[in-house]
Amino acid sequence: MSVVLSLKGKKVTLRMKAVSAAETGESDKRGRKASKETRRQQLVEATIDSLAKRGYSETTLADIADGAGLSRGIVNFHFESKEKLLIATLQFMADEYAANWGVALDKAGDAASSQLWALVAADFDRKICTKRKLAAWCAFWGEAKSRPTYQALCGARDTKYQELFVALCAQMKVEASYSYDAETIALTLSAMMEGLWFRLMMGDGLTREKAHAAAIEYLVSVFPGHMTHQGPK
């Protein structure tokens, strides 16, 4: 589209891009989608806060709405029920956790020792290892036994994660002729990591840095041919 203007007796032609109704509609659609995603994330974060503060059974939709600074109607519009919001929150936390250790693994290189070192460090990442998120995880763990949906949601990821630990321990056993059983060592490593998370959540003075140092001490003691306190050999 062209517009002709007259400036001091001279004609100036300005060419303007026409914006179609379809383009405008697409822009509005993207804006609404972004707004929806923002609202949903606000509610998920507020759910994590409430779980950390009140626990599972005491968390209500009203608490979540107040924490997010939104109305109860907005909560119902996006999630319909407390259970659906809780499932969405658990899904978000599980996806975030899996993505975090997946990135760490990709950056670690091919050596089994480097990969295991990276996986352990990922559990103490500042993005993942916070008191509020650990408390929320604990709240979900407490309900998992009686709620198959929660077990199904995280079960496949937990299995994949544990199988990876076993494979790495088995590889290092071959490389250094360790006498341990790979599955047993992988199980004790996972249990130790979960125990450190629980201690951090309880807030008994243990810091994230000290917990990570304790995990490193375990790695060094079990894999002396592969690990030092400074990192993989």
Q: What is the pLDDT of residues 92-103, one digit of tens each?
A: 999 999 999 999
Identify the band that residue 30 occupies on the pLDDT scale cut at 50, 70 and 90: very low
- Report, as an integer, the average pLDDT of 12-34: 46
| Residue 107, in any domain of the structure | yes
Task: Give me the sign of the Cα torsion angle 66, 69, 71, 77.
Answer: negative
pLDDT at residue 217 above 90?
Answer: yes
pLDDT at residue 219 above 60?
Answer: yes
| Residue 20, in any domain of the structure | no
- Using alpha carbons, list the distances in angstroms from residue 219 to 17, 101, 109, 186, 207: 63, 17, 18, 11, 19
- What per-residue confidence (pLDDT) applies to 1? 53
Domain that holds residue 108: 85-232
pLDDT at residue 24 above 80?
Answer: no
- What per-residue confidence (pLDDT) applies to 142? 83
% of the chain residues with pLDDT over 70: 84
- Report, as an integer, the average pLDDT of 15-19: 47
| Residue 3, in any domain of the structure | no
Identify the band that residue 47 occupies on the pLDDT scale cut at 50, 70 and 90: very high
| Residue 54, in any domain of the structure | no
Identify the band that residue 202 occupies on the pLDDT scale cut at 50, 70 and 90: confident
- What per-residue confidence (pLDDT) applies to 6? 47
| Residue 114, in any domain of the structure | yes
Number of structural domains, the chain?
1
Rounded to a whole number, what is the distance in angstroms from the first to the last CA of the chain?
67
| Residue 30, in any domain of the structure | no
Identify the band that residue 29 occupies on the pLDDT scale cut at 50, 70 and 90: very low
Residue 143 or 28, more confident: 143
Q: What is the pLDDT of residues 151-185, one digit of tens each?
A: 777 766 678 889 999 999 999 999 999 999 999 99
Distance, CA of 148 to CA of 156 (rounded, Å): 13
| Residue 201, in any domain of the structure | yes
When the pLDDT of each residue in the chain is averaged and rounded to a whole number, the result is 85
**45: CB partners within 8 A, 6+ apart:** 68
- Using alpha carbons, list the distances in angstroms from residue 148 to 48, 141, 154, 216: 20, 12, 10, 34
- Report, as an integer, the average pLDDT of 46-67: 93
pLDDT at residue 20 above 60?
Answer: no
| Residue 68, in any domain of the structure | no
- What per-residue confidence (pLDDT) applies to 141? 85
Q: What is the CATH number of the domain that holds 96?
A: 1.10.357.10
